[in-house]
């Protein structure tokens, strides 16, 4: 198969992510990912109580909740950033800088690849071959991603539940009239 524009975009994204992670290093990249996870967990834990504080000052409950979520997330990220800078200083003492950067490059590529697997599993996998757009059908990268998705789902069956939930949510967003029909039946 020839390389099409989708392949160029996907491979370029992986390369750019890898190069950005190369400049940061593996330790910074992993600490950054951990910070995002901790921030997300903080929002889920703190939101029920913290959400009550802004509601008297903001008329819209949705806007109040959105601002509260953003504040919790950003404050947690800032606190984690300070902690991670101290951790990074510990690693700067050792002479593993080149290994850190090589592992960072690999991490950057894998980060985009995993994101592609998730998107493909949710949006493309449910489509029959005839329904798939030509840029997917004639992509050189798509078969590799599809094999990886199938391999992952076959070896980690618990993921099938989350993927199916993502597929349901995406179909409701893409085809809202169909989800309304299904709910009325």
Domain ranges for the chain, please list them: 5-174
Number of H helices, E strands in the chain: 8, 0
User: What is the band of 78 on the pLDDT scale with cuts at 50, 70, 90?
Assistant: very high
Question: Is pLDDT at 84 greater than 80 in this prediction?
Answer: yes
Section 87-100 average pLDDT: 78
Question: Is pLDDT at 178 greater than 70 in this prediction?
Answer: no
Section 51-79 average pLDDT: 89
The overall average pLDDT reported for the chain is 86
Cβ atoms of residues 79 and 39 within 8 Å = no
Section 79-91 average pLDDT: 89
Alpha-carbon span 14 to 8, nearest angstrom = 10
Which percentage of the chain shows pLDDT scores above 70?
A: 90
Cβ atoms of residues 48 and 6 within 8 Å = no
Question: Tell me, what's the pLDDT at 54?
Answer: 84
User: What is the band of 176 on the pLDDT scale with cuts at 50, 70, 90?
Assistant: low
Kindly report which listed range (90-99, 115-124, 154-163) carries the lowest average pLDDT score. 90-99
The burial of 116, by beta-carbon neighbours within 10 Å (0-12 exposed, 13-18 middle, 19 or more buried), is given as buried
Question: Is pLDDT at 14 greater than 60 in this prediction?
Answer: yes
Section 65-69 average pLDDT: 89
Give the residue with greater pLDDT, 141 vs 62. 141
């Amino acid at each position: 198969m020839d390389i099409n524009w989708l392949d160029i975009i996907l491979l370029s994204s992986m390369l750019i992510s890898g190069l950005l992670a190369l400049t940061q290093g593996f330790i910074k990249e992993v600490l950054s990912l951990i910070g995002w996870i901790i921030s997300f967990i903080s929002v889920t834990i703190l939101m029920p109580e913290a959400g009550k504080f802004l509601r008297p000052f903001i008329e819209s409950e949705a806007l109040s909740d959105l601002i509260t979520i953003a504040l919790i997330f950003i404050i947690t990220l800032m606190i984690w950033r300070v902690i991670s800078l101290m951790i990074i200083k510990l690693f700067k003492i050792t002479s593993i800088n080149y290994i850190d950067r090589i592992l960072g490059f690999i991490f950057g590529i894998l980060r985009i690849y995993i994101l592609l697997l998730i998107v493909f599993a949710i949006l493309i996998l449910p489509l029959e071959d005839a329904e798939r757009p030509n840029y997917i059908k004639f992509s050189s990268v798509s078969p590799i991603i599809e094999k990886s998705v199938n391999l992952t789902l076959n070896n980690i069956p618990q993921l099938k539940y989350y993927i199916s939930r993502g597929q349901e949510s995406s179909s409701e967003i893409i085809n809202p009239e169909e989800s309304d029909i299904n709910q009325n039946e």
